[in-house]
Every structure is written in C-alpha cells, then in structure tokens.
Amino acid sequence: MDTERVRALLCAIEEGSLTAVSEKLGYTASGISRMMAALEEETGFPLLIRSRTGVTPTEECLQLLPVMQDLVRAGDRYHQLSGEIAGLSRGRIRIGTSYYAYYDWFARLIAGFGRAYPGIRVEIAEGTSTELLQAMQNLDLDLCIISERKGAADWIPLTEDELLACLPAGHPRAEAVSRGSGNEDSTDRAARFPVTAFAEEDFIELYPGKETDNSRMFRRCGVRPRVRYSTSDNYAAYAMVAAGLGITCTNAIIGEAFTEGVVYLPLDPPQKVEIGLALPAAKDMSPAARRFAEYARDRFR
C-alpha cells in the first residue's frame, strides 16, 4: 500500500477538505482525487463521504484509522532509516514547544540543521507541556521542549525558569517595590508576591481546564486562585492585567515578551520549573529525530 496515499487520506480527514490537502501536501486537486480513488479501489470500499462542504471518513475508514496511522509512521521510519544509511538525506521531524520564546532559537537551529541535512523537513507544534508530552507518547511528535513532566522516556535539562506574579503597573505591591523603604529586609519582602495572595485578588487564568505550570504550582501549594477571567491567549491575559482587571501568574521566559503596563514580582516562596528536551524511548525515535536532538543539545543557549 502506498503510504503517501494513506498520508493524504489522513490529511483529508484532519482538514475536512481535499482542496486543503492539495495545498498542504503540494499536489494538484486532480492528483489528490486520483490518489483517493486508487486507495479506495485498493481497499475495496469507500473511505470518504464527499459533500459540498468537504469530506468526512466512512465508518469503515474509522475502523482502519489506527492501522493507517501506524503505516504512515512505519513509512516515515523506513525512509529516515534508509536516509541515514545513505547519509541522512531524507526525513521529517515533528517538534513541540510550550514556550514561544524559543521560536527564534528554533528558527536559527532549523536553518543550521537544514544546511547540514537539506532533505529533512521540520514541523513545529505548540501546546501546554502536558499536552505535548502526551502527543510525543502517542508518537505524534518526535521530541519537545517543555517543563519537566513525569513520563518522558529521556529528559535533557536545558535551563531553569521561574514563575512570577504579573501585576498592573499601578498595583500597590508594584508601587511598594518602586518606592522602597530604605530597609533592605523589608524592601526584599515587598519585592516578593506571596503565593497565598492569589486567593485574595481577582485572577486571570491562563489555559483554563488544562494542566499547566501554574495549575501544578497552585495544586502543590494548596492555593485556589480567585479566578475572575480566563483566556487561552497569553497576550489577552497581559492586556487584561495592564488594564487593571486583575493579576496573573506566568513563566519568566514568556513574560519577557510583555512588559508595557505590567510589573513582575518573584513569588514567595520561590517557584521554579525546569525546562528541557523530552525524548521518547530510543526504539520509538527516528534517526532524523535522534540527530536533531543531538544537534539541538550541542547548540542550546
């Protein structure tokens, strides 16, 4: 069975449109239609229900999905292994990251890796650390940069990050820091935000209902923040904080991108998270992904 036809079918199911498949995979619309027709003929029954609004999988197709996904993964590993034997000339790497602060680094890294291995395509996905780890364990990602989670087969620590309170610039605690008191100990206390205080002020929750560095920290400290607003967009959260609608908690590495109208304070007690490269078990790792992991680790800043 032609794995490219199967890949195109999986893409059609994901996108809900044969036109979208042709644009995403670089085939003509007629070429995709011929591939689907050939695959259905080979299988012996219809795989897609076609309508004016797009395509959906048939019941028979849904039963075959797990096997087809395994087939595409096996095909990728075949091409990558044969590419390594021939000098690692072909392949595809899927990387996840929870921190867009790493995008510039990734772009430079991919550019350098691409010069060394021009036949390898790199794809980047985003999500929470827990979501990306699960995707990697499901073999939908080859590796990911996340905060440490139990379950990664191999963990390469890269850096330590800190959780911070994000306050409006006019917040009393922020003003206390800017004024100071002349007493070093009291100034230091004022410059920290008690974790318990999140339960006392209007809180803007990021990624509601998902496990995040924030939710894990609150659970660990036994604190229930007083959630007033929620959003899955970091920029929206900082904009609401700057407008005086409440406070939030964020990773220092993410907060670097948002500074206007807000002030960041370290937490009391301090809350650290380790960020690193999570890798699957060696038996599940493609040659291209292994080579990229080595390349990334050697060049991390």
pLDDT band at 83 (very low <50, low <70, confident <90, very high): low
The residue assigned the tokens 């990558």 is 80
* pLDDT given at position 184: 45
Return the minimum-mean-pLDDT range out of 15-24, 103-112, 250-259, 276-285: 103-112
* pLDDT given at position 65: 93
Pick the closest to residue 267 from 162, 185, 159, 177 (CA basis).
162
Q: Note the pLDDT tens digit of each residue in 192-206.
A: 899 999 999 999 999
Give the list of residues 6+ apart from residue 21 with CB closer than 8 angstroms, or none. Answer: 8, 11, 12, 15, 27, 32
CATH class of the domain comprising 160-274? alpha beta
10 Å CB burial of residue 182 (0-12, 13-18, 19+) is exposed
Cα 296 to Cα 294: distance, rounded to the nearest angstrom: 5
pTM of whole model > 0.85?
no
* pLDDT given at position 107: 79
228: left (phi over 0), alpha (psi -120 to 50) or beta: alpha
10 Å CB burial of residue 81 (0-12, 13-18, 19+) is middle
The reply to whether 1-68 and 160-274 are identical in fold is: no
Mean per-residue pLDDT over the chain, rounded: 85
pLDDT band at 187 (very low <50, low <70, confident <90, very high): very low
**Domain regions of the chain by residue span:** 1-68, 160-274
Cα 32 to Cα 28: distance, rounded to the nearest angstrom: 6
Cα 151 to Cα 209: distance, rounded to the nearest angstrom: 21
Indicate if the pLDDT at residue 38 is higher than 60: yes
- Residue range 75-95: average pLDDT? 73
* pLDDT given at position 255: 85
Indicate if the pLDDT at residue 301 is higher than 60: no
* pLDDT given at position 42: 92
Give the list of residues 6+ apart from residue 156 with CB closer than 8 angstroms, or none. Answer: 276, 277, 279, 293, 297
Q: Note the pLDDT tens digit of each residue in 133-173.
A: 999 988 889 888 899 988 777 888 888 999 999 999 989 88
* pLDDT given at position 176: 64
Considering the four listed CATH numbers 3.30.365.10, 3.40.640.10, 3.50.70.10, 1.10.10.10, the one that applies to the domain covering 1-68 is 1.10.10.10
* pLDDT given at position 86: 58
* pLDDT given at position 174: 79
Q: Note the pLDDT tens digit of each residue in 105-127.
A: 777 778 777 777 777 888 888 88
10 Å CB burial of residue 218 (0-12, 13-18, 19+) is buried
